[in-house]
Structure formats: C-alpha cells, structure tokens
Chains A and B, each alone.
Chain A
C-alpha cells in the first residue's frame, strides 16, 4: 500500500472527504488507499496516478481530464466477475472499500500497449481512412474487419448474468428541478416554499454543485454566511418538507414529449454490492407539470498541439480535485486559458498549497481582478502567449510556449520551455443544454462567448443558472429562485415574493475565442491537436473532412466520429463546430449543432429493462385447471402468454404415442380438453347484432336467442383475420369466442371499429376470457357423461340441438353449455365461472372414468380438427387467405355488407386460381409431411423450382391409420386428384391432392 503522495494538507484543503475513514482499493493490480468521499479518479490523483487508459483509435496514453460525467478518457473496468462493468468513468465511480478497477483497451498493460503501433502509423490513418482501403482482394474484408474489431471496443462485457436487480418507479410532481447546484437549490427552495410538490435530482452523490468544487462557490458568501452552510441549510429545509423528494446520484437522462422525463438513480453503485432486496439502480419515469433545468455548464478544453498527455486536464477539474477532494493534480501546475475562470482555479490551487508554474493566457491584454490576484501571489502570467507543444515520456513534464500573433493564426518569437507536471486548461464553459435540446428547445449562438444558449421552447420548462449563461454565483441564485417561483406559480401555487439568496456578482473580462491554438508547425504536420479525446479526432481531421465534402455537422460527426464516444462529445463538440465554421467561413450558429438525443449519460440496459427479465419477462397465463394438468404430467406449449397442455404422456409414451391414444379416445369414447384459453368477449347493446353483422362475413341479425353461429372476420383487404363461435344470449347480448392468440387483437379491432368508424352503434364490449373456465368434452359418450354429472338441461338431441346453448347446473355448478364441436364428434363446451373450473374438471374426470375419459392436449385437438378439415386461423391461414380460398363460400354473405366485402371482388382477390385449401395424402401412408414443406408440380434436380403453395397442417391420424395434411395450393381445387411433390433439403415426397375432409365428410358424428 502506497501512501497518498498527492493528498493536500487538511488545513489548507479540507475538501469533502473523510480523512478519518480510509478505504483500500486496487487499480491495475496495485493496492492504494483513498478516503470516504473520494471518487476513483480523485483517489488515483491523490496517489499520483494519472495514466488511466488508452484512447480508442491510436491507443495513446491518457489520463484524467475532467471531474464528472463529461470525462472522455478515464474509463475503467469496474469490479470483477459477475458484477464487472465496462466503461465506467473513474470521475463518477465513488470509492468504496475493496474497489477493484483496471484500465481498458490496452494489451499487455496500460503502460506498455502494443496497440500504440496505431499511433506510429497514424499518418496513414486519418479520419475515414477505412472507407478508402481494405477493398482488395474483394474477399478479404472479413479478415481486415476481424483485426479492426479486435482492436476496437473499449471494456469487456461480463461473462455471467447480472446478479443484481433493478426497479422502476412512476412519479408525478409539480416541479422537477434538474441539478442541485446554487441555481437548482434556489429553484427548489422557491417552489417548495410555494407549496409545490418538488423533485430535485442531481447526478452527484452530494448535492451542492459548484458550491462544493468550483472556485466561485467554495469560499463564497451567500446571504452573509459561508456558501456551504447556506447549501446545507437549504438541503435541510428541503429534506424536512414532505412534498419534496431529493434524489442524489440520479441523472435525468431523457426529456420526452409533454414533460415526461426519465431519471436513472444509482441506488447501490457506491457500495461493493447492493444489500439483500435492494435494487442496484432505479428508473424513475416522471411526469412534471413544470421543469427547471439547472444543469450547469461544462468546461471546454483548448485545442492545442499534443493536448492529450496524462496530466493535462480541465482547469475547473484541477481546482475541484484540490478543493473538493484535497488532492493535488501536480506539484507544478501550468495553467493555460483564454478566460478568467482558470485564474480562479489557479488561485484556489495556489492557496491550497499547489505549486503553480505560471499562467499562459491567449489574451494579449489580460487584466482584471483575477489577473491582479495571480500576479500579487507572484504567479507569472504570460499574456498573449500560447502553448505550442507538450513534452513527456507519457505524462506531461514540460510545455513549450510562444507568443501569439495578433490574429491568433500563428506564433512567433522565441520558444520558452516551462517545466510542469500538470497542465490545467480552460477554453471557456459550455452551458449543458443537452436536456433542453432533447425537449426540442431551440438554441441560439452567442458569438461573443462562442457558446450555444437556450433560446425558445414549447415545453413547460425554464432554464436557470450557468446552463442559461449566468456565470456569477449571484446571478445563478437569482435566476434559480425566479425560475422556481415561476414554475410553482405556473403549476397553480402562489409563491411569496421573497428576495432571492444573495451573493456577490463578479463580472469577468471577455474570453478570447481561438478554436485551434496554433503551433510552430502547420496543422496536422507533427503533433496532434485533439478535439475529441476518446475517439482521437484532431483539428486536422476536421479540415480533411471538410475538404472531402463532409461539411454538414452530421456528416462531419459521422465521418470523423467526433462526438460519438461514450462522452457523446461533452467536451469537444462545440470546438468541432467552431473549427468547421472557421474552415467553411461560416458562423457557428449557422453551422448548427448535431441533434442531442437521450440519454444524457449512458444508462444501464438492466436499468431500462427493470423487472421484466427472467421469469417475469412476460406474464404466464394459466387456466383454472392448470394444477390438474401439471399433476397429470402434461407437457405444455406456449400459446401467446398461455401455457396449454400440449399432450399428456403416460410413462414411456412419446408425443406420438400419447397423441394417437388421445385422438382415438375422442372418436371412440370421450375426450376432455381445457378450452379456457379461447378468447371470450361479452358484447352488449341494442345494436350488438348489427355490429356483428358488419364484423363477420355471415349474417347475424336473425340468429335466435340461445343459438350459436360460427363466423369469420376479415380485414379490410378481405383476408381472414380471426374466427370463432358467437352465441346470442339475449336480444342485445352476445358471447363471442376468438382464437387463443387473437383475443386481444380482436378486442382492439372491435373497439376500433365501434369507436372510430361506427360511433352511432350502441354496442359495448368487454373481455371475459379470464372470467370463464371451459371444459370441452367430445366423443360418442359425451352426452352420457353430461347426463351422469347432471345438468338440469334436457340433453335430448332435438331439445338441445347442435349449435345451441343452454344454461344449467353441471355437476351442481352454474354453467353455460354450448353444443359446438371442433372435433366433429358429439361435443359440449361447458363454461363455468373460472373459480369453479377445477371443480368442474374434477367432477367430469370422476364421472367419466367409466367411459374411459381421456384428457387431450392441443396436439390431439389439432389432429382431430384436421381430420375434419377445420382450419386454424394463423396456421392454415396467414393473412393472405380469403374465406373463399378456404372453400367456405357458404360463410360469405352476398346480401349484406361487412368488413372486407369490397376487397373480395377486386381483380386479384376474385381470381379463380388463387391458393386454395386442399388435403394432401402421401403415397406412403407412414410418411408424415413436414409442416412448412413447399409444394411443386415439377421436380427439378436443384433449386430454383416454381412453388405452388405449402403444407399448413400435417399429422399422423391414428383414427385413419395414415398421415394426413392440409395445404394451400395455387389453383388447388382444380388439382384434386393430381400428384404433386414436396421437395425437402434431403428428400422429395410425392403427394396426391384430395378434398380437405378425411373423416365423416357428411358431418353425422356431431349428433352422436
């Protein structure tokens, strides 16, 4: 364990760390110590570690650049094993005891990385080089690509499933305040005092924003007391207000339409692992009446030659490491700036005991209080100078400076070498307008400051603080308080007119905008001016892209990959735009920005998935009789969300053995099927019959009460959409059944027509699928079985005919009994309230023992119906089949209108040679055709072959002791009797086309 060589003296730089609470951690296999309150980045800096990772393309050594979510370089693989996470910004990883992290994208080590060969070859690897090469020989791309893929990527995915869990929460509030810096705190206070329900979120662990870390905040005075005291009082007041929710460690990452916002709360990322039952992260889906964006500003770097060495970082971040974490980024820090804020950073560092090697300022006439303060401390200020190069084996050890010419286009005079071990740079500050832009807010370009500021917006939001271009603490507080009060007022509350928290206003001297800092060599010739650190995009790359015509901001981004790294260009994007504008002689405002898209910072897949994974991926629906099927050893199949018994094997039975037994029982004794999953829709209203008349292809108005009818419904294009039996319970009351998988679709369909097309019809629908349990009994003994359990219904075939419904008490249970048949046998479908489903089933099984009652599953059901030629919508149809194609002309009314009717007379739909439903018999009765087999008239030695259609259903029929199949075949009705072929990958099967009815074509068996 090494001592913390770069930890500052507690008296000079107390910071927000707890020096009494040391934490051990391991980085790249070496043990270190930090303190509670550290991030991994601050702890590394406190230990003098700057080399953290390698860049994406050139594998150049890189250090820590920022101190928050803007960090492009310091990405680490955090934790090991099943909880490992790639691409974690060390600047956001809170230190915990036992933390293990390592560098990414380097081999064998971050100090010596063979990938750095790319850097040596970088002269032939400019932006977009891969579009110009790797094309020869034509077959070799996959080889080149393999090398590229291995070199690319950053961290590694875990090998194992995620052991943690994630939760989601929906919430509403009157005012959401994003960002808990001075502006956000002031806004939240004002809104909460007005009585609004407030949510205040901040991406950092500790709320306070720049009051914790920024030279303007630390040591400032608000309302006459130290800023941090004010902040803790404000947070205390907010925390004690029951209408306020404080969400630290929570990033508002998405701003969607109508003030719907998405927040990711890192509940347990700051500890080794979550407690039992604690989620790792929580997704908040928030609907806010008003939003106040107090998202602050992000410092931007300076684009100078070799500005990427470890040790070169943002000035504000260098100050933050000193003031917030008590860690010195170096012992001789050189400051390079174009504005006043870096002076404050230098002063703060100096006062904390950090040596300042000097301040190099692009402005020739640097003046004002910060400049005077620096000079007063004996810090040398080189005004009108620029850094033209940096030097060092890996980490920076010196910088070269020269005087800028008047235009800032070149440098002149002698070269001065300045020894240093860190460079704190500042190119100004960009308002963090990401969320504002996601909300479709328009940006305006401020040419004097070289920044994009919020302009006009349609959403119910306000922007406050440095996100809005307010730079002094006093202005931030004033804007925040005003925005919070206004938001509360807009949400219907009355805000007391209280003065905003007051702090000193400090006005800075203007910055000097230089998108590229010149050096003594032409741009791109020797050294690199990095714009996007992570993706290794240089100022020269931008020039190249423009030369080649990729001038649109989007083309520039895509061609150079600038702004496409995990930081999404938080540091470099505005510079890229500025350079683009300069090269094309346009205004940055006219060049525009690329589109800001969610998420603001990357969000975990697991966080977005929440609990809808594993067994909870989709609800499992089971019937009231499910437990019985399980106990009976049924094998289940998924049908939609339902678990349905596929078959009920007895010991030693295969699928086919079981199905053969089940289908025989249904034709010779009695079989029983759990038909509860069929969709059931209760339809009521005076116009219910007329409604059905328009929905179904056949006529419904004259159906008698107590009678049932089979119907097809078609889409507008005349193609079969669903089928089922619907029964008239009363004049204005119907019970509709649908296919199992189609239930929800059909209800939506009915509602759409009822609500949008025929609002004049008085008809109302509700799903009752779950309310009824259904046992279907089928077979010659079905009536006897029913008689035995008792029904209170006259079961005589004349009194209770086919396609009728009677109400009674089956085995003492109130029931609706439908005499309908999907097997062709004498059959009853007994519907009872779902809570009695199991009792009904058990009663039928007990009473049926003497008849050899046999439960059958979906496979036997399929065989039984196929023997009769009954179609299954979705299997024998596929959305391209009309009722007429199925040979069911009788079900299509000629007299009345219905959905799809007009389409049936369209030229192609009315053709006589469409694909039609037929039966197929194989020459060899033992051979069962594969479903999905394609049918041809003429066999060829090899494809292509002209296809006529396909096998839709195919089974071995134990009742017929041979295979049977249904198929859709072009002009099939005319081919009955003909021989066709089913060519498969490994064999060909010859078939004969027959009528699609294999058993009891006259339909006598259904009467028993």
Chain B
C-alpha cells in the first residue's frame, strides 16, 4: 500500500475535504507467524533498521515489535541534538555517516523531521578544556568533518545572551563549533521511519512486548511475546534502556549499566537562542525548540534503574549551571521534566554487533547520545543483519571489543559525564 505523498499540495487538496481523507501513517497489522527478521524495539533506531533493511537490502518480511508506543523510549525523551564531532576515527566515521543521512532525511522519508543545522558549540572553561578542544577539533578536521575553534569574542558574537564575562566562576575561554550540527524533531524521526518502513512492507506492531527469546541449540528461532510466539531466524534487539533485560532472555550478559538521564523544557518564549550550546565543565546543554521552549539536558542519576524517573537534585544542578551561563534564564520557568533510561557501556561507545548466539544481534549501549546516530545506526545495523557481518563503519563496535580490549573510549565526547 503506497502511502500518499505529503506536500503542500496534498495539504491543500485534503483541506477541501476537511482532512477526512488522510490515511494512517502506518498500518497496524496482526503479527504473522514468522518473519525473516524481527526487530525488537520500535524506537528511532529500530524503525530505521527496518526501513533500511527494506530499502537497501530488499528484506521487507520484517516485523518491528514495540512493547508500548513507537518512539516512547529514548527517541521521545532526548534533547534532539545531532552532531558528528567525535574524537576517535571509528566514532567520527559512524556519526558523520549518520549526519549525512540526516541532511536529506526529510526528503528521503517524505516526512519533515525538521533537521535544523543551527550549529553546535562546545564551550571550554579551563586550560585543560582548551587543550582537549584543540585535540578534538584537529582530529575531526583531519577526518574530513567540519569543525572549528572560536575565541571567546566569537562565541559572544554568536550567542549574545551567553555570559562571557571573565569574572564568572568558570569563564568561557573558547569553544569548538560544528556548523553542520543542530537539532531535529525527535518524534517525527520515529514516525517518519515507521511510515517509510510500513510503505515498504514492514509490519509495525505496537503493544507487543517480547517476553522471551526462543533458541534451538546455538541459534535463535523466534520470540515469545504478549501476542504469542513469532518466528524469525534473525532477531535484532534495539531496546535502549532494556537491552540487558533482553540479553538475559537469551542467556547473555552485556557490559551495560542502566541509569536514568533527565531532561527538561522551559515554558515557550520568543527566540533567544539560535545555536546548541554545550558545556561539559559547567554541566549544561541547551537549545531552543521551534516552539520556543528551552530544551535542557541534565546529568545522569548515579543509581541504576529501569524506572523512567530521576531525582530533584540533578535538576537543581542543571538549573544552576544554566543560570550561571545564561543569567537571564533565572526568571524563566521549568515546564516539564522527565527521564529516560540510558544503557552505558564502559567505553561510552555503542555495541552494534552479532552475539555468540547465531541469528541474534544487538544494537545498544548508546549511553546518553544515541539520538544523533538514529539513521546511521539503523543503516549499519540493517547491513549487519542482512549480510550477517558488520559494515566497515560498525566493525569496531563489536561485542568482542570488551574481550579484546579494543575499546573506543568516548567519555570525553559524551555531552554527559558517564
């Protein structure tokens, strides 16, 4: 069933019939007894995987199983920042591939995901920060990715409301800037990929929780779900926040810790911040949404949890940091705060990999920064599932690296200290 194309013309046409003729963005079929591939997890990464399986690898006998609603996990809970300014080659190439997909994703999906390359600034507040910034910017540039250093005066010109006084506790000494970085509309990414995958024949099944992974010998044969057994020779698990729970169903133990990560928005105000501003030392990252809300990311709560709620002290800290860097924020108001569960690997890099169980694959461990990778993650995971071997872009992100020691330590690149 080809989906009707979205455009200003289709909007006008449908206005004539009071928008009564719009069709569902995706079907809601009952699960078939078996599929070629089952994707567990209907977030952005899982839906992107299904989309690229169908689009790039012509495998459309695919089901995406979601225990709740599409995009209800970290896809709908993040601060929507997209960038590729990573230190190590392996990460830079993966995230840059993703960024390139972002740049044409609205057209690719015929769904406006509102990717807005309004620039991402990372502030430096001490000499150590500056050194690290130089190192990072040089590395990113030599990987062929845009990256530059700004002086304090240039930062001030770009973000006039930022407190660049030399007299604050940790003055802004400079910043790195990735102009191609920015933000996107998080829900739209899930919906756009869902609609795109559905149009290519993928079955998207919500309210279907996987309760077990059935193995025969050393390979998987399907999943037990709240809607019965569904067979598949290949299962891709993309369930951030619950990856280790799924892994244990197959008798695997992942090198993952799960923590709550909080974020919040202010009430909407007229535009005052046109760029994404991130600071690791004065811990805060903030952008302003098209609706006018300031979108602010907090740090992780130190405790392990699967419950999607955090504690107040983390919010207090982030608010103090925000007011330090933007003193005029003080009289604005927090409208809504929430938490997602992040799966953190020891090296703060993801796992996109097969496992010792044949036919079982995991895409997980994105920690605090998986949203930006959504299209790229799906693209390489689709390749991995289809070909039963990783694409060169994700070869380094294997599960084996925790045995071999070939870690990709990106603690410095994460916006949030792990």
On A, residues with C-beta under 8 Å from B are: 56, 83-87, 123-124, 126, 129-136, 138, 141-142, 145, 148-150, 152-162, 164, 166, 168, 254, 256-257, 260, 262, 283, 285, 522, 524-525, 540, 544, 547-550, 552, 554-555, 558-559, 561, 564, 566, 568, 595, 597-599, 602-606, 608-610, 612-618, 620, 637-639, 646, 717-719, 741, 874-875, 878-880, 903, 906-910, 930-934, 936, 943-945, 947, 950, 983-985
Contacts and interface: CB of A to CB of B under 8 A. Distances in A.
B291 A717 contact: no
A931 B135 contact: yes
Contacts of B115: 141
Contacts of A83: 331
Interface stretch (B229-237, B264-272, B363-371): B264-272
B345 to A, nearest CB: 11
Given A157-B329, A597-B338, A879 B269 contact: no
Given A141-B112, A609-B322, A637-B127, A984 B138 contact: yes
B404 interface: yes
B169 A617 contact: yes
A818 B22 CA distance: 80
Nearest to B117: A142
Contact of B411 (A156, A597, A879): A879
Contacts of B168: 614, 617
B252 interface: no
A934 B330 contact: no
Nearest to A155: B269
Contacts of A133: 6-8, 11, 112
Nearest to B305: A257
A124 B12 CA distance: 6
Contacts of B346: 717
A149 B405 contact: no
B151 interface: no
B331 to A, nearest CB: 5
Nearest to B103: A138
Contacts of A637: 126-127
B69 interface: yes
B141 interface: yes
From A138, A605, A907, name the one whose CB has the most chain B CB atoms within 10 angstroms: A605
B388 interface: no
B260 to A, nearest CB: 11
A613 B327 CA distance: 8
A606 B323 contact: yes
A162 B326 CA distance: 10
B15 interface: yes
Interface string B369-386: 000000000000000000
Given A133-B6, A133-B8, A943-B141, A153 B127 contact: no
A153 B291 contact: yes
A417 B332 CA distance: 44
Nearest to B28: A549
Contact of B112 (A131, A616, A984): A131
Contact of B316 (A56, A608, A880): A608
B32 interface: no
A743 B312 CA distance: 27
A141 B112 CA distance: 9
B187 A135 contact: no
Contacts of A718: 405
A161 B333 contact: no
B311 interface: yes
Given A133-B11, A160-B328, A880-B407, A602 B128 contact: no
Contacts of A549: 24-26, 28
A135 B24 contact: no
B170 A617 contact: yes
Given A547-B24, A638-B170, A906-B404, A135 B107 contact: yes
Nearest to B72: A554
B139 A618 contact: no
Given A132-B112, A161-B327, A599-B334, A617 B135 contact: no
From A136, A549, A874, name the one whose CB has the most chain B CB atoms within 10 angstroms: A549
Nearest to A535: B291
A599 B337 contact: yes
Given A133-B7, A555-B70, A909 B269 contact: no
Contact of A717 (B144, B292, B405): B405
Contact of A86 (B20, B267, B319, B320): B267
A135 B112 contact: yes
A942 B266 CA distance: 43
Contacts of A606: 319, 323, 330-331
B324 A131 contact: no
Given A609-B319, A718-B405, A945-B142, A597 B333 contact: no
B56 interface: no
Contacts of A554: 69, 72, 76
A544 B19 contact: yes
Nearest to B147: A985
Contacts of A568: 335-336
A159 B328 contact: yes
B10 interface: yes
Contacts, number: 323
Nearest to A280: B331
Interface string B101-126: 00010110011101111100000011
B409 A152 contact: no
Interface in B269-304: 269-272, 282, 288, 290-292
B202 interface: no
Nearest to B118: A142
A613 B337 contact: no
Contact of B11 (A129, A262, A615, A638): A129
A184 B7 CA distance: 55
B52 to A, nearest CB: 20
Given A131-B191, A552-B206, A605-B334, 16 more contacts: A124-B11, A135-B110, A141-B106, A142-B116, A149-B292, A150-B271, A157-B331, A283-B316, A524-B19, A549-B28, A552-B69, A558-B76, A598-B337, A606-B323, A646-B127, A875-B131
B226 interface: no
Nearest to A555: B69
Nearest to B138: A934
A162 B206 contact: no
A603 B328 contact: no
From B128, B143, B320, B407, name the one whose CB has the most chain A CB atoms within 10 angstroms: B320
B24 A617 contact: no
Interface in B117-163: 117-118, 125-128, 131-139, 141-144, 148, 161
A135 B337 contact: no
B387 interface: no
Given A132-B112, A614-B324, A717-B405, A162 B331 contact: yes
A161 B332 CA distance: 11
Interface string B307-319: 0010110011101
Contacts of A620: 169
B405 A906 contact: yes
A566 B292 CA distance: 12
B312 A84 contact: no
12 contacts: A83-B331, A87-B268, A124-B12, A133-B11, A148-B290, A157-B329, A162-B331, A547-B20, A554-B76, A568-B336, A606-B330, A637-B126
Contacts of B138: 932-934, 950, 984-985
From B115, B125, B191, name the one whose CB has the most chain A CB atoms within 10 angstroms: B191
A568 B265 CA distance: 12
Contacts of A555: 69-70
Nearest to A121: B15
Given A540-B18, A609-B319, A930-B134, A141 B290 contact: no
Contact of B311 (A256, A566, A599, A943): A256
A604 B332 contact: yes
Contacts of B20: 524, 547
B65 interface: no
Given A548-B23, A614-B324, A525 B139 contact: no
